[in-house]
């Protein structure tokens, strides 16, 4: 019967060890990588934001180093992208003069460049906002099954992010059509 006790003891030790690791330890997860620190204090239900501060769709850049908030469906039909920090809440300005959106649908690929359009509080020579100069991008993004990838350089490092843009849920809360 000692085999049963040993198994139980080993199971208890493993469970307690992994249990502590999952919740970030006694400090609530404030230590560790940047993603842990960025999400410290958030509940499990909202650990990864899906909507930006302006109600747009969020695109994760890198390992949540940054986020991009994509807004479309305005009166002019143009696309606006705001660069945000790791929490998806604060603006981040970059020296990039444009960002690129690569779009694939129906076997064809297109590339769109959005020009920097600095916010009033962005540092001189930097921008946190990028705007399309045509309504064509918004129309192309509406194709069923469209694959959308955003490419931007922040602090000299290129970042890519994929927009998880679904039309099968009947809910378009982040934008209008």
pLDDT digits (tens, 9 = 90+) for 6-16: 433 333 333 33
**For the chain, what percent of residues have pLDDT higher than 70?**
65
Residue 142 pLDDT exceeds 70:
yes
Q: For residue 133, what pLDDT is reported? A: 83
The residues near 16 (Cβ < 8 Å, ≥ 6 apart) are: none
pLDDT tens per residue across span 96-122: 999 999 999 888 999 999 999 999 999
d(CA 66, CA 87) in angstroms, rounded, equals 8
Residue 26 pLDDT exceeds 70:
no
Q: 126, 95 in Cβ contact below 8 A?
A: yes
Report how far apart, in Å, the C-alpha atoms of 17 and of each of 14, 41, 96, 112 are: 5, 22, 45, 49
Which of 100, 176, 119 is closest to 142 using CA atoms? 176
pLDDT bracket for residue 134 (50, 70, 90):
confident
Residue 92 pLDDT exceeds 70:
yes
pLDDT bracket for residue 5 (50, 70, 90):
very low
Domain ranges of the chain: 50-163
Report how far apart, in Å, the C-alpha atoms of 172 and of each of 54, 57, 122, 137, 168 are: 14, 10, 30, 18, 10
Segment among 31-40, 147-156, 162-171 with least mean pLDDT: 31-40
Architecture of domain 50-163: Sandwich (2.60)
pLDDT bracket for residue 37 (50, 70, 90):
very low
d(CA 58, CA 163) in angstroms, rounded, equals 7
pLDDT bracket for residue 47 (50, 70, 90):
low
Containing H/E element for 100? strand 98-105
pTM, to two decimals? 0.67
Q: Could you please report the per-residue DSSP string of 32-76?
A: SSHHHHHTTT--GGGSS--B-TTS-EEEEETTTTEEEEEE---TT
């Amino acid at each position: 019967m000692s085999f049963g006790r040993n198994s139980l003891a080993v199971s208890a030790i493993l469970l307690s060890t992994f249990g502590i690791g999952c919740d970030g330890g006694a400090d609530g997860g404030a230590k560790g990588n940047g993603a842990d620190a960025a999400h410290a204090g958030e509940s499990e239900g909202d650990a990864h934001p899906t909507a930006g501060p302006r109600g747009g769709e969020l695109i994760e850049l890198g390992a949540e180093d940054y986020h991009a908030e994509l807004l479309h469906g305005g009166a002019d039909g143009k696309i606006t992208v705001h660069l945000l920090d790791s929490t998806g809440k604060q603006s981040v300005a970059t020296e990039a003069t444009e960002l690129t959106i690569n779009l694939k649908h129906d076997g064809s690929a297109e590339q769109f460049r959005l020009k920097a359009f600095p916010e009033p509080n962005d540092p001189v020579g930097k921008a946190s906002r990028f705007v399309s100069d045509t309504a064509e991008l918004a129309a192309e993004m509406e194709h069923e099954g469209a694959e959308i990838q955003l490419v931007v350089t922040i602090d000299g490092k290129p970042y890519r992010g994929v927009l998880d843009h679904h039309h099968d849920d009947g809910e378009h809360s982040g934008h209008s059509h």
